[in-house]
């Protein structure tokens, strides 16, 4: 039972807010560069840095420029980057075979980064949406996103990424059974040290719009993803998903999106104590950037406040497009 607090004036709660030194002494949460994973987008070509209009300041980069971004991240102290491939409609197919091609954009980027910047950890995305002509995370048969055939493809995709040198596999597809299947395959192939950060509680959210622009999926998607991504109204279901993925071999778990689901982050951390991450998704980033560019909010202060919210909710780390800007700002403090 919580002890009774003395009444005013014996208790003056403003005492512990009276100076920077005192506020620092009693601060419960600290944001550092170690908390960040930086999502980056890779595309075909060479010497390309292509702006994404719906995500101000974010670029699609060719492999050589992604290597430069990885070096920038390492120099800033950012511990990990996450690779997402951009594919045009002409590169997408019904069979999604590009997803496990050893020479696709993502796998070439992994090898190039490992050769040039071996100290940075590389996370990948495992889902078929960026290779699927239908824009879905799984195969589409007679209008249905099929589960088990998709899992077989996801295993091949994860193995190709592990062979390329990925440190962290990030299944974001939300198919049933994929964590256990991927873990079993990684073990059998000798990739025992490759980690799985499961997008275990991924919601069917409207906050993903700019990301789909970034990876070329906006024009490809037919229908919606509500039969496999979570209903935003549910929270108990998220705990069931987290428990399942941890028992199937996930090393870390993710809640996505981030800020609209901080209650889920808190419940996950309190319930399981496992390494818990959140993805500050493209729509969250775009809203902050748009308001800042219009002069309606203070970019730096709102950025850091938004990131601190994840730490307060129990997150161990954050995937955020703000990673380089936040790292630079924190380094000045």
In this structure, is the dihedral angle defined by the CA atoms of residues 142, 143, 144 and 149, taken in order, positive or negative?
A: positive
Catalytic residue among 65, 225, 256, 269: 256
**What is the spatial distance between Cα 59 and Cα 309, in angstroms, rounded to a whole number?**
26
Catalytic, 256? Answer yes
Q: Which two tokens stand for residue 257?
A: 């999106």
Q: Find tokens 């209009």 and name the residue.
A: 53
Q: Which two tokens stand for residue 130?
A: 């960026």
CA angle 175, 271, 24 (to 5 degrees): 115
**What is the spatial distance between Cα 23 and Cα 25, in angstroms, rounded to a whole number?**
5
Contact 308, 78 (CB under 8 A): no
Dihedral class, residue 161 (left if φ above 0, else alpha if ψ from -120 to 50, else beta): alpha
Q: Which residues contact 50 (CB under 8 A, 6 or more apart)?
A: 43, 59, 60, 61
Dihedral class, residue 59 (left if φ above 0, else alpha if ψ from -120 to 50, else beta): beta
Catalytic residue among 202, 225, 269, 311: 202
Catalytic, 156? Answer no
Q: Which two tokens stand for residue 276?
A: 């818990």
Tell me the catalytic residues: 202, 256
């Amino acid at each position: 039972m919580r002890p009774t607090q003395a009444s005013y004036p014996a208790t003056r709660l403003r005492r512990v807010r009276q100076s920077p030194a005192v506020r620092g002494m009693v601060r419960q949460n600290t944001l550092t560069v170690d908390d960040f994973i930086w999502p980056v987008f890779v595309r075909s070509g060479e010497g390309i840095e292509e702006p994404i209009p719906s995500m101000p300041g974010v670029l699609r980069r060719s492999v050589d420029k992604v290597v430069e971004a990885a070096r920038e991240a390492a120099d800033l102290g950012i511990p990990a980057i996450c690779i997402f491939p951009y594919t045009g409609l002409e590169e997408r197919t019904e069979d999604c075979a590009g997803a496990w091609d050893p020479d696709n954009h993502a796998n070439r980027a992994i090898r190039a980064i490992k050769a040039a910047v071996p100290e940075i950890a590389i996370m990948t995305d495992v889902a078929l949406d960026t290779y699927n002509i239908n824009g879905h995370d799984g195969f589409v048969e007679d209008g249905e996103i099929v589960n088990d055939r998709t899992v077989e493809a996801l295993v091949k995709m994860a193995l190709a990424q592990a062979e390329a040198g990925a440190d962290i596999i990030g299944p974001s597809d939300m198919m049933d059974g994929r964590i256990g299947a991927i873990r079993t395959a990684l073990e059998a192939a000798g990739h025992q040290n490759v980690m799985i950060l499961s997008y275990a509680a991924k919601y069917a959210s409207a906050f993903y719009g700019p990301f789909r622009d970034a990876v070329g999926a906006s024009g490809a998607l037919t229908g919606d993803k509500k039969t496999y991504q979570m209903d935003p109204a549910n929270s108990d279901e998220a705990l069931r998903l987290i428990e399942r993925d941890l028992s199937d071999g996930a090393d870390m778990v993710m809640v996505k999106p981030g800020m609209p689901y901080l209650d889920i982050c808190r419940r996950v951390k309190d319930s399981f104590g496992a390494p818990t991450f959140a993805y500050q998704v493209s729509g969250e980033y775009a809203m902050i950037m748009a308001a800042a560019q219009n002069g309606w909010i203070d970019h730096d202060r709102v950025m850091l406040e938004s990131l601190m919210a994840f730490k307060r909710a129990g997150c161990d780390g954050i995937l955020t497009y703000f990673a380089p800007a936040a790292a630079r700002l924190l380094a000045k403090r």
